[in-house]
Amino acid sequence: MQFRTTALLLLGAMALPASGAAQTAPAPPAITRTVVAATKLPSVTDVPLHFQAVSVTLQPDQNSGVSAANGILYQISGSTEVVLDGEAKMLNAGEGLFIAGGKTAALKAGSGGPSTFLHFFLASAADLDRPAESAPAAVRELYRTAAPIPDLKPGGYDLNLTRVTFPAQMPSNPPHHRSGAALYFIVSGTGANTVDGKTEARGPGSLIYEPHALVHQWGNPGNEPLTFLAFNINPEGVAAVLPGAP
């Protein structure tokens, strides 16, 4: 009898770790969002506005300058010193900076190698064809909206650039739309973008425009995380993403 009791106690002790392990199973990876740069705009209805994105490369120690529409720099590789309003800031990979329209900023590439960065603009039609960064910077336009951003309303708006990462094997999120508008740039991974029941793969370097009325979904069916930049504008005090259709 004593042997049987001892055996039962041992079996119970052996079973406990399995039960405890089941209770502490790791949660699935979460979506991460990092605001790289942000500002507030008092009005976005004075003139029709477009999204525009350019890629800029400066060779080591080269100097350039920029004086354009409201925009945000995002450093892809290398480093860039930005002097704005008498203050210097060094941008390293993954960092960004808002430059207000009409402000002049001096740019200098770091000495460790070429500097490559993206510049996202919220620009009037008159600004779209003006040079962004000055020579000797190599500037390549990546995207511009064919028509002005629709459905913008009077009042203040938030303008920001946010880096978002979806974990691997993430199912598509529920249908949703933007309270303002956004321009996406896929940094790494391949996402699944669904619009009107049609799903398309979107890989690195893809740019996707999301106006207010576009109902869409995003997922990540791949085995690697999906990371993208969202250049976003939304009414102040209103969530950037809203469920369902407008």
Residue 151, pLDDT > 50, answer yes
Indicate the pTM of the whole model.
Answer: 0.88
Q: How far apart are alpha carbons 106 and 226 in whole angstroms?
A: 33
Q: How far apart are alpha carbons 163 and 118 in whole angstroms?
A: 13
Least confident of 2-6, 33-37, 206-210, 222-226: 2-6
Whether the CB-CB separation of 127 and 68 falls below 8 Å is answered with yes
Using pLDDT thresholds of 50, 70 and 90, give the confidence band for residue 10. Answer: very low
Higher pLDDT, 101 or 29: 101
Structure tokens at 233: 């504008």
Structure tokens at 182: 């956004």
